[in-house]
Structure 1
Amino acid sequence: SGEPLVSGPRYLVCSRCARNWIFSRMTCAGCGEADGGKLPIFQEEKQLPHMRVDGCRSCNRYLLTIDLRRDERAVPIVDELAALPLDLYATDQGLTKITPNLLGN
């Protein structure tokens, strides 16, 4: 893809309480799966270039990733609410969100 290898920390943010913590990259936040072949990534590059779905085929769950390197003005809690197209796509792929946001998505 031409992007540099990312080795910095990955932060997870709770969509309900806004608490954040460091979490391992390329690991499912739901079940701990670390086999990259079971961790599909879905992205809508044109409309939502700084957002993607990080899925897991072991537990069939997903979370939304907001990449602040691609849009430093992004606000993860707000952008997560605007990511309905990605949520719908993930659901169509048989995945369930790890933790629904305040709107229940």
Structure 2
Amino acid sequence: MVLQWRRRPFQPTQRQVKRGCLAERARCFFDYSGQTYGSPRTTLGLCEESWQASYNTVADIMAEFGLQGRTPPRRRCSLTRPGKRKALPPWCGALSTPSRPTRCGGAT
């Protein structure tokens, strides 16, 4: 029969069993690290324990369980943060007309 696989009882395949054990071990390693390691470091730790898995497989497993390592710090867009910079004093000439010098400290 072509559709015999539909009639037999569900038994996990070897790949599913191995992936389940790998997922359990990855979760233990992630918890042991204080929930700071991401998939590359978790993969290296699993390789040290003689597990064979790629970075993408471990990343998929971690994403499936919602395991995320330390988030990297956000990169600032600019050096001057809005709201932290003081306004220029009125004598500096920031709002001056073209006939007046615009630099602080006098004429050029």
With normalisation by structure 2, the TM-score equals 0.26
- Based on CA coordinates, which of the two structures has the bigger radius of gyration? 2
Q: Which structure carries more strand by proportion?
A: 1
With normalisation by structure 1, the TM-score equals 0.26
Where relative contact order (Cα < 8 A, 6+ residues apart) is larger, the structure is: 1
